[in-house]
């Protein structure tokens, strides 16, 4: 409510979590403002305790990774957790028809010590094929606009399960070990179902 009323984001000194939150505000100013508006609207309706809508907003804010794709089949492979298809069979599509952009500040903080088990919560956004011809700043700005507009509709992202688990070390270019296809054989990390538990997997 303080952010909504004043535009000020409280930030503690010497605190990694707040540092990455500040960076997220700089990178995603419109989407972060829209996330805040979503919480303010829910509280104004009497939802002082978080329900599914605010839980989903919080999960996106803390652990969200925006996955832009120009091919719905790639987004479906992610949603279905078909890791072999997504990361091996269609590996060449990364950076050309699909890409991941970190939003969540908690998942950024966990990236200080990357480990098997590091996982984000993916939100898939469809983009036009020419999106991938843009430079990084233009891509991020476009996603910020798209996401902010979507978040202002409370029918969008109504519950946490609308987000997909995404093993971050599997993204091509994010971790050197994933150059070896055998890396993806770790079914404890690359879970075949959302019911599987991967949060405490060790290397």
Residues 84 and 77 sit within 8 Å (Cβ to Cβ) = no
Residues 96 and 133: their CA atoms lie apart, in Å, by: 8
Q: Which two tokens stand for residue 103?
A: 């939003």
115 domain residue, yes or no: yes
Sheet holding 119-126, edge to edge: 98-102, 64-69, 119-126, 164-167
pLDDT of residue 202: 32
Upper half-sphere CA count for residue 62 (Cβ side, 13 Å): 8
Q: Is the pLDDT of residue 115 over 90?
A: yes
- What average pLDDT does the chain have? 92
199 domain residue, yes or no: no
Residues 89 and 165: their CA atoms lie apart, in Å, by: 19
202 domain residue, yes or no: no
Residue 165 domain boundaries? 2-185
8 domain residue, yes or no: yes
139-145-147-153 Cα dihedral, nearest 10 degrees: -160
For the stretch 183-202, pLDDT in tens is 999 999 999 887 544 333 33
171 domain residue, yes or no: yes
Number of folded domains in the chain?
A: 1
> Which band of pLDDT confidence, cut at 50, 70 and 90, is reported for residue 33?
very high
99 domain residue, yes or no: yes
200 domain residue, yes or no: no
6 domain residue, yes or no: yes
> Which band of pLDDT confidence, cut at 50, 70 and 90, is reported for residue 25?
very high
pLDDT of residue 151: 96
Q: Considering the entire predicted model, what is its pTM?
A: 0.91
């Amino acid at each position: 409510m303080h952010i909504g009323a004043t535009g000020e984001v409280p930030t503690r000194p010497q605190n990694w979590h707040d540092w990455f939150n500040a960076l997220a505000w700089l990178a995603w100013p419109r989407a972060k403002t829209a996330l805040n508006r979503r919480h303010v609207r829910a509280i104004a309706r009497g939802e002082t305790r978080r329900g599914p809508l605010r839980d989903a907003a919080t999960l996106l804010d803390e652990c969200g990774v925006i996955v832009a794709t120009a091919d719905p089949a790639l987004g479906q492979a992610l949603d279905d957790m078909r890791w072999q298809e997504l990361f091996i069979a269609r590996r060449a599509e990364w950076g050309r028809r699909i890409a991941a952009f970190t939003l969540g500040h908690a998942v950024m903080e966990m990236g200080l010590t990357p480990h098997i088990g590091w996982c984000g919560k993916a939100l898939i956004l469809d983009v036009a094929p020419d999106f991938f011809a843009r430079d990084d700043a233009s891509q991020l700005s476009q996603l910020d606009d798209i996401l902010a507009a979507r978040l202002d509709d409370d029918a969008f992202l109504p519950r946490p399960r609308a987000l997909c688990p995404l093993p971050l070390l599997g993204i091509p270019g994010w971790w050197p070990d994933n150059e070896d296809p055998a890396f993806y054989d770790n079914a404890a990390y690359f879970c075949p179902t959302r019911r599987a538990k991967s949060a405490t997997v060790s290397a």
